[in-house]
Amino acid sequence: MEAANYEQLKKKTAKYCAWQERCSHDVKIKLQNLGASQQETEKIMKWLKDEKYINDTRFAATFSRGKFINNKWGKKRIISELRARNIDDQIIKDALNEIAGNDYLKTIEDLASRKWKDIKTDDLFVKKQKTAAFLVNKGYETDLVFRILEKMD
């Protein structure tokens, strides 16, 4: 392992992690793309964790809040994205607790209402179908979507 290259990789990944919250999975991919060996990757990952540049629990909580607040994603979509990043199921469960239940309900109701108004048809079935598809694609639970749609006319 070349010392100069190792220090350069360490510096680059520290900067990468300091710029935005990252998870272990994303940082490993970054290191691979930078050409780090397996040994360098393991050593740098340990250092990044020890120095608190990487914390998957912190990442999952930040990710969940951000995607819910900014992108209006539902829990199913957030879970799927976190699992794709190899985040532990218990960490995901804890991160979803960052989303308040009443905020979640209000958000899905607002999204449903806006989508409902945007659909240019008088056919109630088509309106419900398109609104449901939109909400499910955003990651909201199917049973919750249909409960909300039952109230709309």
Q: What is the spatial distance between Cα 107 and Cα 69, in angstroms, rounded to a whole number?
A: 9
Tell me the longest C-alpha to C-alpha distance in the chain: 69
Percent of the chain with pLDDT over 90: 82
Q: Where does the pLDDT of residue 2 fall: very low under 50, low under 70, confident under 90, or very high at 90 and above?
A: low
Residue found by looking up tokens 């990757």 in the block:
41
Q: What is the spatial distance between Cα 7 and Cα 129, in angstroms, rounded to a whole number?
A: 55
- Please give the distance of CA 146 from its chain centroid, rounded to a whole number: 24
CATH 1.10.10 fits 3-54, yes or no: yes
* Nearest by Cα to 139 from 67, 86, 65, 59: 67
Using the Cα atoms of residue 139, residue 86, residue 32 and residue 57 in order, give the sign of their dihedral: positive
Q: What is the spatial distance between Cα 59 and Cα 55, in angstroms, rounded to a whole number?
A: 6
Mean pLDDT across the chain, nearest whole number?
A: 92
Q: Where does the pLDDT of residue 1 fall: very low under 50, low under 70, confident under 90, or very high at 90 and above?
A: very low
pLDDT of residue 63: 96
Q: What b/e readout covers 109-132, taking b as 16+ CB neighbours within 10 angstroms?
A: eebbeebbeeeeeeeeeebbebbb
Helix (H, G, I), strand (E, B) or coil at 53: coil
